[in-house]
Amino acid sequence: MSIWTRFREDITAARVHDPAARGALEIAVVYSGLHAIWWYRLNHRLWSRGWRVMARIGSQLARAVTGIEIHPGARIGRRLFIDHGMGVVVGETAEIGDDVMLYHGVTLGGKGGGTGKRHPTLGDGVTVGAGAQVLGPIVVGGGSIVGANAVVTKDAPERSILVGVPARARPRVAGERYGLVEPDYHI
């Protein structure tokens, strides 16, 4: 996929997720969540090629500019949208599927020390509400919703809703349309 096709896809994802988005130029110029993702891609490429210090410097520059910290070692799928992204933190071993949406103040963080997988995995179509903390090497199944300010420390099945401190998962009720976004991304 060319860089321009990926940029158009990112802008389309912002339009799908944000009803306040007015146009492609505005999105490309002022959406800090989008800028953080673009910086991440560059830094991840450096990280993957062994330029670890340069990648970390780039990620810290991106954090200073956008207020969003994405470790260059994280794995991020397509069409991630970070809305009002100030304070978002994505740890080194985090994995994010396609069509995920994160609101401001979200942490995909580690729990304790050690090496290996320390950060969460979010399936496709997950939405994480403002201020939520998803901690440790857990899996949040695709199509799930993490409520605002929830603290998730245990695995959650697909299409669940997680709320509370600590968060408890419940299945989605028939007809609930939140979480999994199934937009038309034809560009």
- Can you give the pTM of this predicted structure? 0.88
Q: What is the pLDDT of residues 51-104, one digit of tens each?
A: 999 999 999 999 999 999 999 999 999 999 999 889 999 999 999 999 999 999
More confident residue, 180 or 157: 157
Backbone angles phi, psi at 164, to 5 degrees: 100, 175
Show the domains of the chain with their CATH numbers.
3-171 (2.160.10.10)
Task: Please report how many Cα atoms fall inside a 13 Å half-sphere around the Cα of residue 101, on the Cβ side.
Answer: 25
Q: How confident is the model at residue 179 (pLDDT cuts 50, 70, 90)?
A: very low
